[in-house]
Homo-oligomer: A and B are copies of this chain.
Amino acid sequence: MRFLPKLERKFRRWKKLKKPPLLRKLDTLFKSAHKGHRPEDSAKRVQKGNGKDVKNELSYKSREQFMYNGSFHEAVGSVLLTAQCFAMMPVRGVTAKHPSSLRFSWRYVRTCCCLLFMASMLINLSLTIYKVLHGSITFNSIRPLIFKSCIFLVCGKALSLARQWPELMMKWYQIEKDLPQYQTQFEKRRMAQTIRMVMLVGMMLSFAEHLLSIVSAINYAEFCSRTDDPIRNFFELTNDEIFYALNYSAPLALWGKLQNVYSTFIWNYMDILVMIVSIGLASKFRQLNDNLLRFKGLHMAAAYWSERRIQYRNICTLCSTMDDAISFITIISFSNNLYFICVQLLRSLNTMPSVAHTVYFYFSLFFLIGRTLAVSLYAASVHDESRRPLRYLRCVPKESWCPEAMRFAEEITSDMVALSGMKFFNLTRKLVLSVAGTIVTYELVLIQFHEDQDLWTCDQSTYS
């Protein structure tokens, strides 16, 4: 039975139909309660464990290739792989078909790389602190400090997230399996496509911004040439926190540049991560909603509602688990963006010496605002989708209005399902407005202290 997944599935379905609805629901509940301990799964693991039946396993996998399509694990595979190139999320098996292949160990090379990067980050951070403490501390001057602390914290959290990842993905897998089937191939691919699109656009814009920042820095370094070596000028400018404390040397410069590139990636990646998890959760709710839409207004049995309610509950639990896992990154991402928008808006009042600066500055500002808006809206979509079943429940005909449907409706009404910033705030559409209001208010107040500092004079670096 284990070697014929297609047949097996059919058989399972037929079994489901044979069972009275009561038993069926109980089963589902039992399964969701004791997830990870189902005989098939454990059996599979045993197989893997003792290394037997490898061939069977493989043929099973090739059939799985299209069977388990549409899962979150599969959709984020490439995203995590990219992250691993930049020393984040060091978990093995991200491109495997099945989440049970995911492994985390402190002894993997990628984990070591990640730890190495964090150590290097820590040194860089110390140098930055050293430099900041030796200057005057203003709202603007602590920018590099905040930037680097955030990145260090996110790196640390991402590492701990990587440790949880195999378990989290198994949870997703269990819950996804119980959800109503996708109707079309298009629906199956939608989530993965959205996620890849977000990753791609985010990365490309980030890359474009980094290129512009290099162009602008070259421009600037030429203008304020301290030494005869243009390359040295460039690195002394972009890594001023290093060469404030240490003497210039090529390896240090390279290390600084690498650090810059990685930092920039991680700075973007923390927003992208929040977006991707949001897209995943929202799409699971949408999968449920699509099913509810199909049967909207029709006479459905109580068991139907009971089953949907349990599925809804499972996704809610998943949402809350994921929230616990990433809400630290969420709060860092939000406060970081809030701070940087305020600073950049303030700096927009400065005069810009060259066109390259202007282009870079405004591109950077709009990219920042756009990214913040995108994170907010994607994260809010989880909440929006979680409320939608209510629409379909409102259209249940009088005759089919059963206690289970009522309970379903009441649970949706009274529960707050949303990603949050460590429970201090929920990510809903209303948040966007209040964040915007906060930015405007702070800006109006901050603007009073602003004096055109001419940040482009040569004695002060402006590169984060």
Task: For the complex, give the distance between the alpha carbons of A390 and B430 in Å.
Answer: 25
- Using a CB-CB cutoff of 8 Å, which residues 391-426 of chain A contact chain B? 394-395, 397-399, 401, 403-404, 406-407, 409-411, 413-415, 422-425
Say yes or no for A433: interface residue by CB 8 A criterion: yes
Say yes or no for A446: interface residue by CB 8 A criterion: yes
* Partner pick for A29 among B297, B306, B409, B414, CB 8 A cutoff: B297
Q: Which of A252-260, A269-277, A434-442 contacts B (4 or more CB under 8 A)?
A: A434-442
* Partner pick for A313 among B394, B401, B413, B422, CB 8 A cutoff: B394
* Partner pick for A433 among B384, B424, B437, B442, CB 8 A cutoff: B424
Select from chain B the residue with minimum beta-carbon distance to A297. Answer: B33
Task: For the complex, give the distance between the alpha carbons of A400 and B390 in Å.
Answer: 24
* Partner pick for A447 among B33, B414, B449, CB 8 A cutoff: B449
Q: Which of A297, A397, A404 has the most CB of B within 10 A?
A: A397
Interfacial chain B residues near A403, Cβ < 8 Å: 401
Say yes or no for A448: interface residue by CB 8 A criterion: yes
Say yes or no for A211: interface residue by CB 8 A criterion: no
Say yes or no for A103: interface residue by CB 8 A criterion: no
Say yes or no for A25: interface residue by CB 8 A criterion: yes
Say yes or no for A429: interface residue by CB 8 A criterion: yes
Are A410 and B407 in touch, CB under 8 angstroms? Answer: no
**Closest beta carbon of chain B to A107's beta carbon, Å:** 33
Number of this chain's copies in the complex: 4
Are A26 and B397 in touch, CB under 8 angstroms? Answer: yes
Say yes or no for A109: interface residue by CB 8 A criterion: no
Are B437 and A432 in touch, CB under 8 angstroms? Answer: no
**Closest beta carbon of chain B to A333's beta carbon, Å:** 15
Task: For the complex, give the distance between the alpha carbons of A442 and B437 in Å.
Answer: 10
- Using a CB-CB cutoff of 8 Å, which residues 299-318 of chain A contact chain B? 302, 306, 313, 316
Say yes or no for A197: interface residue by CB 8 A criterion: no
* Partner pick for A413 among B414, B424, B433, CB 8 A cutoff: B414
Interfacial chain B residues near A429, Cβ < 8 Å: 422-424
| Known A397-B29, A398-B22, A442-B444; contact A424-B430, beta-carbon cutoff 8 A | yes
Are A399 and B22 in touch, CB under 8 angstroms? Answer: yes
Contact with B along A268-304 (1 / 0, CB 8 A): 0000000000000000000000000000110000100
Are A398 and B394 in touch, CB under 8 angstroms? Answer: no
Are B398 and A404 in touch, CB under 8 angstroms? Answer: yes
Task: For the complex, give the distance between the alpha carbons of A401 and B33 in Å.
Answer: 17
Interfacial chain B residues near A401, Cβ < 8 Å: 403-404, 407
Chain A interface size range: 35 or more
Task: For the complex, give the distance between the alpha carbons of A401 and B26 in Å.
Answer: 13
Say yes or no for A445: interface residue by CB 8 A criterion: yes
Task: For the complex, give the distance between the alpha carbons of A296 and B33 in Å.
Answer: 9
Task: For the complex, give the distance between the alpha carbons of A432 and B394 in Å.
Answer: 30
**Closest beta carbon of chain B to A91's beta carbon, Å:** 28
Select from chain B the residue with minimum beta-carbon distance to A416. Answer: B387
Task: For the complex, give the distance between the alpha carbons of A294 and B387 in Å.
Answer: 30
* Partner pick for A438 among B397, B398, B423, B437, CB 8 A cutoff: B437
Task: For the complex, give the distance between the alpha carbons of A316 and B33 in Å.
Answer: 29
Select from chain B the residue with minimum beta-carbon distance to A421. Answer: B433
- Using a CB-CB cutoff of 8 Å, which residues 336-391 of chain A contact chain B? 384, 390
Are B398 and A25 in touch, CB under 8 angstroms? Answer: yes
Interfacial chain B residues near A449, Cβ < 8 Å: 447-448
| Known A442-B444, A445-B444; contact A424-B432, beta-carbon cutoff 8 A | yes
Task: For the complex, give the distance between the alpha carbons of A390 and B296 in Å.
Answer: 26
**Closest beta carbon of chain B to A156's beta carbon, Å:** 20
Are B430 and A425 in touch, CB under 8 angstroms? Answer: yes
Instruction: Known A-B contacts: A306-B398, A401-B404, A440-B442. Give 19 more (CB < 8 A).
Output: A22-B398, A22-B399, A25-B397, A26-B397, A29-B297, A33-B297, A33-B395, A302-B398, A398-B404, A401-B403, A413-B414, A422-B429, A424-B429, A424-B433, A425-B430, A437-B438, A441-B442, A442-B444, A444-B446
Q: List 24 A-B contacts (CB under 8 A).
A: A22-B399, A25-B397, A29-B397, A33-B296, A33-B297, A33-B395, A302-B398, A313-B394, A316-B394, A401-B404, A406-B407, A409-B414, A410-B410, A410-B413, A414-B414, A424-B432, A437-B438, A440-B442, A441-B441, A441-B445, A442-B444, A445-B445, A448-B448, A448-B449
Q: Give 4 nearest A-B pairs by CB, closest first.
A: A413-B414, A444-B445, A424-B433, A423-B429
